[in-house]
A and B are shown apart, each in its own frame.
Chain A
Amino acid sequence: MTVEQLAAAVLDACEGAGVEHMLTGAFATSLYGVPRSTSDVDVVVDAAAGEPIQRVMATLAPLVAFDPQVQFDTLTWGRRHVGTTRTDPPLLVELFTLFDDAFVQHQFNRRRRLVLPSLGRAAWLPLPEDLVVQKLRWGRAKDLDDARDVLAVQGLERVDLGAIRSWCVVHGTTERLDAVLAALPVE
Chain B
Amino acid sequence: MRQTQIDSDSSAADLERLQRELFRTRIDRARRLTEDQRLAEAFALTNGALVRMHEGALADLDAADPSLGWQEVRRRLERLRRARVREVVPPVGPAANSQPVAR
| Contact call A152/B73, Cβ cutoff below 8 A | no
Instruction: Give the contacting residue for B43; candidates A3, A103, A171; CB below 8 A.
Output: A3
Taking A114-B35, A173-B92 as contacts, is the C-beta distance between A100 and B101 under 8 angstroms?
A: yes
The size bracket of the interface on A is 35 or more
How many whole Å from A175's CB to the nearest CB in chain B? Answer: 10
Residues facing B in A31-67 (CB within 8 A) are 31-39
How many whole Å from B95's CB to the nearest CB in chain A? Answer: 6
| Contact call A39/B20, Cβ cutoff below 8 A | no
**CA of A178 to CA of B100 in the docked complex: distance in angstroms?**
26
**CA of A171 to CA of B93 in the docked complex: distance in angstroms?**
8
Confirm or deny: A166 has a beta carbon within 8 angstroms of a beta carbon on chain B.
no
**CA of A119 to CA of B35 in the docked complex: distance in angstroms?**
12
**CA of A77 to CA of B91 in the docked complex: distance in angstroms?**
10
Confirm or deny: A182 has a beta carbon within 8 angstroms of a beta carbon on chain B.
no
Encoded as 1 (CB less than 8 Å from any A CB) or 0, chain B from 65 to 79 comes to: 011001001100100
How many whole Å from A31's CB to the nearest CB in chain B? Answer: 5
Taking A77-B95, A89-B70, A116-B36 as contacts, is the C-beta distance between A35 and B31 under 8 angstroms?
A: no
| Contact call B94/A35, Cβ cutoff below 8 A | no
List 10 extra interface pairs beyond A137-B92, A173-B92, CB under 8 A: A34-B30, A36-B45, A39-B46, A39-B49, A75-B93, A77-B93, A90-B70, A102-B99, A103-B98, A149-B30
Q: Which 7 A-B residue pairs are closest in the complex by CB-CB distance?
A: A30-B42, A118-B40, A35-B41, A101-B94, A77-B93, A88-B70, A37-B45
